[in-house]
Amino acid sequence: MTNKSWVFNSRKGHYRVNEHAGRVSALHLNQKGENLLWQGDTTPTLGMKIEGGDRMWLAPQLDVFDWDGENISTMQLPDGMDPGSWQSVTNGDQIEFEQTFLGSKMIRRISPLNSIKVKSTLPYCGYNIHDHVITEKYLSSWHLIMVPHPSDIFVHSAHSPVRYFGSPPSFNSGWISAESNTEAWKLGLSPDHSGKITIGAFSREDPGGLVVLIAFAEPNGTYIDYPPDGSVGTAIQLFNSAGGGFCELEHHAPLETQTLKASVLGSWGNFQERLLFLNSLISENT
């Protein structure tokens, strides 16, 4: 197994991409040393080794994973999917990964985020993601970004919370807390009629980091990652690993296209500066 890696510059920082697990493993601002993404767990608390960063999986989870849908300690991550056996091709500052799992071709394209509309003096950096699966099976693309917890997460204009498992805390005016000392939970949400998604994960440290996911979900699309109770799946999901050290910002491609695109940004500052940064992103890009 090879573990090629590349570092790409973006605005006021850089990000690292690893062929192993086909992932973005690190997002750094030049002025700060720490990784804004969760780096991974070599002493797992969830019953499996976890690779950190930004990954692509296949949905629906209850069909792809060997799992009862409720007790997360029994969940087995399929090695053929993650870390899998990704192959890479580079083209300038864009990198493309491909692998085949369950008879389906998984494709990821990752490129630098060079500019975005925002009115803020805070530095930022980031990357663009394009995930696609080619298959005739009942599967679709699933994008996951792992960030350290505890974090406070804001989801713009999301509604209709759906419990997937565990006991998610209250989702209040767009905010939800991902603590480090509670049981694991997962919550599904739907975007408003525009389909535009903006999610910000705020580190509790102050000053601290902010990781933002900007994406689009077809409002009338079919989202096949269904909860264990069999209700309708959601385009947006938030996961908290409890003692695992991380939480996740997730979104899904609709079955109709099996493809998704997203921009992921990282910034750093005191809480009020980060909040203004996120509010500017929302007002300028939605």
Query: In this structure, are strands 236-240 and 259-269 parallel, antiparallel, or unpaired?
Result: unpaired
| Structural tokens at position 118 | 């925002």
Predicted TM-score of the model (pTM): 0.95
pLDDT tens string 183-219: 899 999 999 999 999 999 999 999 999 999 999 999 9
Element (H, E) at 28: strand 23-29
Query: What does the alpha-carbon distance between residue 238 and residue 219 come to, in Å, rounded to a whole number?
Result: 18
DSSP-assigned letters across all residues of 237-280 = EEEE-GGGSEEEEEEE--TTT-EEEEEEEEEEE-HHHHHHHHHH
DSSP code, position 193: T
SS3 percent helix, strand, coil of the chain, rounded to 5, is 10, 50, 45
pLDDT tens string 92-137: 999 999 999 999 999 999 999 988 999 999 999 999 999 999 999 9
